[in-house]
Structure formats: C-alpha cells, structure tokens
C-alpha cells in the first residue's frame, strides 16, 4: 500500500496543469490539483480567450466603415460595453465548466485554495496536508508593475476584462504584445489611445520589418505612439490621471494600463524555504525533463519563464506525463513554434527573424512583399499587408516566415506545418496558390529583395 495520499499533486489549474492532471489520471495515476483563483488559468480567464473576443468586438467599427465601399449603408453606430462584458463572462463561465467537467470525468481530485509546499513530498492547502509522490508546479505568470509613484492608480491586463465602463482617454505603458493588442482593442472601441514605450521600437524579439510595419499601420489608424518615453510618476486629481514622462510630457487620461511584462507566479508557494532553485524574476529552474533540483518536484509552462505560450505549456504537460508514466517518452521541439500577436492588423510568425538567420548562416535570401489587400481596393481603408520569407540560399531551406495583415495567425499556422516538414523555397514556388487570396502571395514571391 502506498505511503502517499496521491501519486501526483498539481499546483495550478491552467492549461498546462489541467492537461498534465487529466493525462496522468487517464493512465491510472492518483492525481489531485489545487487552484486558488479560477479553473482554466490565465488563458481562459484573463488572457487568450477574452482578449480574442475583445479583438473581434473592436474590429467591427472598421468593418462597418469598410462596408460603405461595398454598397452597404450602416446606421449610426452604438456600442454597449456592458453587453460585451456580459457575453464574455457567459463564455468564460462555460469554459470553466468545461474544465471542471474534464477534471471530474478523469477522476482528478480538485481542491480549492492556495497550495504551499511543506517539504519535498507534502503540500498544504490551508490546514489540510496532502502527501504526494511527485509535485508539479504549473502556476503560470502574473502581471508586473514597476515601483513608481502612483502605481496604485493603474490597472493591469487582468483588470481590463472587468472594467465598469470604458474610459474616454487611455494611456497604455509598454511595448510588448499585450500592450499592442490592447491598444488596438481600445482604439477600436472608440477610446482615445496613447501607447508609451521606453524603447525605440515596439514588439522586441520580432523581426525588424514586422516591428516597423506594425508601428506604421497602427499609427495610421490613429493610435498615438510615443517611443523612448519613460513614465516617472502618476498622480490623480479628482477622476483624472496625470502621467508624467521623462521627456517633460504630461499625458492626461482617464485610465492607465501597465503592460510592462509578466513574472512567474511563484510567491507564497514556499519554494525558497524548501531550497527549490529559482532564476531571474522567480522563474523555477528545471532540466530538460521539467525536473527541479529537488527530484520529486517538477514545473512547466509560464512559471519556468522559457517560452510562454499556452500550447507550449500543454505540450510540455504531455511530454512530462509520457516520460513519468508511460514507456513512450516524448520531447517538445522548441524550434519553429508559431506565434501570433492579435494586433490590428494581426501578426503571425514562425521560425527565425532575419537578424537571427544572418547570425547563424552566411548566405541568406529575403523575399518580401507589401501590398494592399483586395478588400481594401473598395473599402477605402489604407491598411497594408506585409509578407516575408527568410531562406538559407545554399540549402534552399525556409528558415522563417513572417506576416502582418488580416488573419495572419490563421495563415501562419499552415506555414508552420510546412516548415516543420522541412519545406524549401522550391517547394513553396512549386505550390499552386489559391486565387484570389492574400495567402497565395507566399507561393508567388520569386525574386529576393536583397541577399
């Protein structure tokens, strides 16, 4: 008879934690999972899902404007923020129920409350203690705000999904994908939006052409971008917020969103007292098997702060369970993982940026196309699309594909399959395009723009 209450105790019921718990339980493993906020984690509740719903909502104003060029007369526009919130809440509640059902059907024991590690084989939730053979930490990340005067007056991306009302004027501080996405959302919903970033370009880590193109396109839509600007303090006078920058600028708004990054959610877990090795920002250090320096404790997903994407966390969960409880060990290949920014227009990318490719290979060809999508020949809108392919000349292998434009994420998903299959530029060139589509541009770019 086992000396443990459960074989696997999972802390955090987000995408990675739930996937690991369900898979393990399906193999006959005795599993418990603890969650102190909401089933589904960040993605379902305050991340991917509600954000994408808000992106859809915010794009209708531009769609209505475009419709005039196609003969449609649209009456005076009205937007009801409370209706959007109610609809969003209903969908999130449905998804939480789905997660609950999946865990229940798998036989996973769900425990509500803050879990804390007592020792290498014991987890405490309140007064209750559970003895476990293995512990998996999948607590994700949490928004981070720099310590500046007036930080108590700002909100993070978490609170953006429950605002009582829309502001008339808004400042977004940050230059990453969350900042850029919310700039598009709020502008599309009619909010006068200013985006302030301390760096020289938005979207650090993305291809340089993508970074320049996105900034150009969202500025054309009317978003006020202020680069090389650091907010030093925020003060509140009546119901108005005054943001003071290091350029002696005063930005007067009704709401300030700080999208200045996320940090691993490791506070209150008792990791330091147990001696679990932590890296920068509190990230849990793990080896290639997601194991910490304490053999019975594992971690995956955003809490390890390596590649913070929901599908990566679920892939890591499957790899870990296979490794621990089956004879068919699998690994996660972190190369050529596609990603998207649901800015307006969208960004989709997979593989190496041009700069990364040039650092690794001596002979690089770049294929690039900037064009006006067919829809906008009649819509009257000035939005452009960018497509770019990075190729290793000597092998003809496609190293990176990047797109800024409508449905970029949907298109790049298929391109990621081709890249994982090792497609060469010759394969792209020999593929028949679907006409008329924007996607066919990827198989009709014949001449490199520069070596």
Digit-coded pLDDT (tens) for 250-287: 999 999 999 999 999 999 999 999 999 999 899 999 99
Torsion from C-alpha of 418, 15, 257, 195, nearest 10 degrees: 0
Q: Report the C-alpha gap between 278 and 284 in whole angstroms.
A: 5
Which residue shows structure tokens 């090389």? 228
294 Cβ contact list (under 8 Å, min separation 6): 120, 274, 275, 276
Beta strand 385-392 with 339-341: parallel, antiparallel or unpaired? unpaired
Q: Is the dihedral of CA 11, 14, 15, 21 positive or negative?
A: positive
- On the question of a common fold for 6-143+263-325 and 151-259, the answer reads yes
Q: Report the C-alpha gap between 119 and 138 in whole angstroms.
A: 17
Query: Which is the catalytic residue, given 131, 244, 435, 450?
Result: 435
Residue 322 pLDDT greater than 70, yes or no: yes
Residue 442 pLDDT greater than 60, yes or no: yes
What Å distances lie between residue 283 and 71, 193, 299, 335, CA to CA? 54, 33, 10, 21
Per-residue pLDDT tens digits for 237-249: 999 999 999 988 8
Asked if residues 335 and 400 have their Cβ atoms less than 8 Å apart, the reply is no
Report the CATH number of the 151-259 domain.
3.50.50.60
Q: Is the dihedral of CA 404, 405, 406, 412 positive or negative?
A: negative
Q: Which CATH number fits domain 339-443: 3.20.20.370, 3.40.190.10, 3.30.390.30, 3.40.50.10860?
A: 3.30.390.30
Class of domain 6-143+263-325: alpha beta
Per-residue pLDDT tens digits for 106-142: 999 999 999 999 999 999 999 999 999 999 999 999 9
The vertex-246 CA angle with 242 and 249, nearest 5°, equals 45
Q: Report the C-alpha gap between 329 and 326 in whole angstroms.
A: 7
pLDDT band per the 50, 70, 90 thresholds, residue 451: low
The residue extents of the domains of the chain are 6-143+263-325, 151-259, 339-443
Q: Report the C-alpha gap between 279 and 277 in whole angstroms.
A: 7
Q: Report the C-alpha gap between 341 and 324 in whole angstroms.
A: 34
Q: Report the C-alpha gap between 170 and 259 in whole angstroms.
A: 13
Residue 151 pLDDT greater than 90, yes or no: yes
Selection from 204, 327, 339 nearest residue 260 by Cα: 204
402 a catalytic residue:
no
> Model pTM?
0.96
Distance from CA of residue 264 to its chain's centroid? 14
Per-residue pLDDT tens digits for 165-195: 999 999 999 999 999 999 999 999 999 999 9
Per-residue pLDDT tens digits for 78-112: 999 999 999 999 999 999 999 999 999 999 999 99
């Amino acid at each position: 008879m086992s000396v443990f209450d459960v074989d696997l105790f999972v802390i955090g019921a987000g995408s990675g934690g739930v996937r690991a718990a369900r898979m393990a339980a399906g193999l006959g493993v005795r599993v418990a999972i603890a969650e102190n906020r909401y089933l589904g984690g960040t993605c379902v509740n305050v991340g991917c899902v509600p954000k994408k719903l808000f992106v859809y909502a915010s794009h209708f104003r531009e769609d209505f404007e475009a419709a005039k060029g196609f003969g449609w007369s649209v009456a005076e526009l009205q937007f009801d923020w409370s209706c959007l919130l109610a609809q969003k809440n209903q969908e999130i509640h449905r998804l939480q129920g789905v997660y609950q059902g999946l865990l229940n059907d798998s036989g996973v024991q769900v425990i509500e409350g803050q879990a804390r590690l007592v020792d290498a084989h014991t987890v405490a939730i309140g007064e209750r203690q559970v003895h476990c053979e293995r512990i998996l930490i999948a607590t994700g990340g949490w928004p981070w705000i720099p310590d500046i005067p007036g930080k108590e007056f700002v909100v993070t991306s978490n609170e953006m999904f429950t605002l009582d009302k829309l502001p008339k004027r808004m400042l977004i501080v940050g230059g990453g994908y969350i900042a850029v996405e919310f700039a598009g959302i709020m502008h599309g919903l009619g909010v006068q939006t200013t985006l302030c970033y301390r760096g020289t370009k938005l979207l650090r880590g993305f291809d340089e052409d993508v970074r320049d193109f996105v900034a150009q396109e969202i500025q054309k839509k009317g978003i006020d971008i202020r680069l090389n600007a650091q907010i030093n303090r925020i003060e509140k006078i009546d119901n108005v917020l005054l943001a003071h920058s290091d350029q002696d600028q005063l930005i007067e708004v009704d709401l300030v969103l700080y999208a200045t990054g996320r940090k691993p959610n490791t506070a209150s877990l008792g990791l330091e007292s147990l001696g679990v090795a932590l890296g920068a920002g509190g990230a849990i250090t793990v080896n290639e098997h997601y194991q910490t320096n304490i053999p019975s404790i594992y971690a995956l997903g955003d809490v390890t702060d390596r590649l913070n994407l929901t599908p990566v966390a679920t892939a890591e969960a499957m790899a870990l369970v296979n490794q621990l409880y089956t004879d068919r060990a699998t690994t996660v290949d972190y190369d050529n993982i596609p990603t998207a920014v649901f800015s307006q227009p969208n960004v989709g990318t997979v593989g190496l940026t041009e700069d990364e490719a040039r650092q690794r290979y001596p002979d690089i060809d770049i294929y690039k196309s900037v064009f006006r999508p067919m829809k906008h020949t009649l819509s009257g809108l000035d939005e452009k699309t960018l497509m770019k392919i990075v190729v290793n000349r000597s092998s003809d292998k496609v190293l990176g594909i990047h797109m800024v434009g409508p449905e970029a994420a949907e298109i790049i998903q298929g391109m990621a399959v081709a890249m994982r299959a090792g497609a060469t530029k010759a394969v792209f060139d020999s593929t028949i395009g679907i006409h008329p589509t924007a996607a066919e541009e990827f198989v009709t770019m014949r001449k490199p723009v520069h070596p």
